[in-house]
A and B are shown apart, each in its own frame.
Chain A
Amino acid sequence: MQQTSHKFKDNVKHALKQPNLRTAIDRTTGLLTSRRRETLAQYPEYAEARATAERIKDHTLDYLDHYLEMFEKNAIASGAKVYWAETPKQATDTIIDICKSHDAKSVTRAKSMLGEEIGIGEALAEAGIERVETDLAEHIIQLADEPPSHIVVPALHKTREEVAELFTEHHADPHKTDDVAALVESARRELRPKYVGADIGISGANFLIADTGSICTVTNEGNAELTTTLPKVHIVNVGIDKLVPSMGHCAVFIRLLSRAALGTEISQYTTYYNGPKRSGDIDGPEELHIVLVDNRRTEIFDSFMKPMLRCIRCGACMNHCPVYNAVGGHPYGYVYPGPMGAILTPAMTSLEEAGDLPNACTLNGRCQEVCPVNIPLPDMMRRLREEQWRRKLTPASMRVGLGFWAFAVKRPWLYRLGTRFSVVMMRWVARAKGKITSLPGAGGWTRHRDLTAPQQGTFMDQYKRGRRS
């Protein structure tokens, strides 16, 4: 996808002009966050499970080479083919080669963010292969020709009314109401024949299980199972951070993932795939190809952003982020939006290209609080700002302003003088109104809200004169 993170402020302006965007966001994140709260209230082991999950991920990461080799060995033993891709290009080349070797004309795809990361859509289009997105939300944004705006509910930015319009325009036999059930039925009618006709199914994976060589997908619509079992060939594209040591470890995450993501105890479908179809199996693909993708994860491993590799892509951080809730996912301008995106975008592209992202955050800490693997997102955000400062990427106005500020702060007498002067000025501006409705140099504040007039005399001056209470 075309990255637009560096234009974050323009993207925000555009987003805030969309009349239905807030309605669309609020409907979905409101539901997800309230359901999450209710489900966790009935899960007394949550805190313990969260701590355990954090430990499992950290352990797996510390022995990543060991578990990756274990996974490869066991996956091959189960009959799968395993490929290693360092870059997105290597990953898509590998996938397109497999498609070409089967003379594939059409592939069905079950949603995976890794696929977005490597640009699988563009690669298939370039190779002239039809791509059918089978996840309902991915189907919607494929029709609208838009990138996902959320990692779990990619069409979150669309209201059902807008979806109804899209379906009316694109579906062969559309249902003309915005009733959700009718819309789902319409998409099902449209997609069913495509499942049967597809040459290859491509999916991601939620977990790679080292000791069995299995992959696990966690979905709700059943589209993943139709994508992975009906075509003769199943290709899995997956990041190396999805690894867990064993099925037992995986179970800890299964309990956390749906609760964190959707506020449900478990998803509709939790499927484990172990190798291709064996003789005697009723269904399943004849070939299973697993493409393990790095895309700078090993660089993240070596940086202060290492805890980011614990991420299980639940989306709770963005659901609870005030900034994400105000502007949606598109302004972030890359595959991953919200708090986790503000870390992964600079990590997977560059600090320059990530632009405002590490700064567009109030550091309120709610993302870490709701994260099922306790990723210190605000701390990492601040560390990225430190990196920006060190590399002089922070805007000059900010650097100069803070320079003056620090000079005064380190000299209490000068600081007192400055404060006293500011207070007098602000009181003069406020005068009879008692508040400031517009102040040169503080337009960012007064454009949307009033500024209280300071009380007369600074605390330090009054204290010096003997006031004590």
Chain B
Amino acid sequence: MTAKPIEADRIWRGIALLAAYGLPIFFILLPLCGFLVYSLFWVEGTELHYELTLVNYRRFFTDEIYVPVLRQTVVLCLEVAGLCIAFGYPVAYFLSGLKGRKKYTLLMLLLVPLLMSYIIKMYAIRSILGGNGFLNRSLIALGIIDQPLTFFVFNLNAVLLTLSVLLLPFAILPIFLSLERIPKNLLEASADLGGSNAQSFFRVILPLSLPGVISAATFVFVLAIGDFLTPQMVGGQSGFTFGRIIYSQFGTAFNWPFGSALSVILAAVVIVAILVGARFGGEKAGVHR
């Protein structure tokens, strides 16, 4: 009589374990390994050769375009992360200072853009940024400029701006959460000890919210570096990024192994970014514990 429930219990625990380990293994780890294996094959014309070789990786390091484009893309994505923090932090700070229902209503409003299709947002941004787009026409109508500005029209600046706008919610959320977790009595203590508002902010709030800032930066960087549509849509002739090259290997060039090798390299960059973020963010949090 006692054996049966235990047996059922064990089965359930087995299923839970299978779900916990099985899903990530089947849907994340195995596809990634697939990329890794594919990156060791090679292509000749339209023929795929299933022989192991490092030729794709050698090509990445020796060809004159791939490393510079990757470097340029990493710099771009760091700038995107920087912009998102610069604009996201004040918003998150303002939000966390609000009281009650207003706070969460505003937070929800900020997250609404995440529900919209990426392509629609991109088209909207493109009609705002164009040479005769909304922004230029508004500036001309207001008499601020008389010729349309071109520095944000179909170039890397446009990519930077668009990615920052699209990814801003991903920066606001983690910063907001880390600000929310700061105990109010710390601020009261700071005030009691004669600290001004600025002092409280720079010596208490900012250090304590840094883990949130780091994870926000990591989020934004990782999402930005994997993006291949934004540069195509708003990058014009100069906004060429690493994601575009990978995309072209699977479409135009039909060189899946080389595309896989480039993806593996990109994955390595992303993993390094996440590790750096985790380590840096963790240390900061640890100091104050």
Q: Do A and B come from one complex?
A: no
Which residues of B does A touch, CB under 8 Å?
none
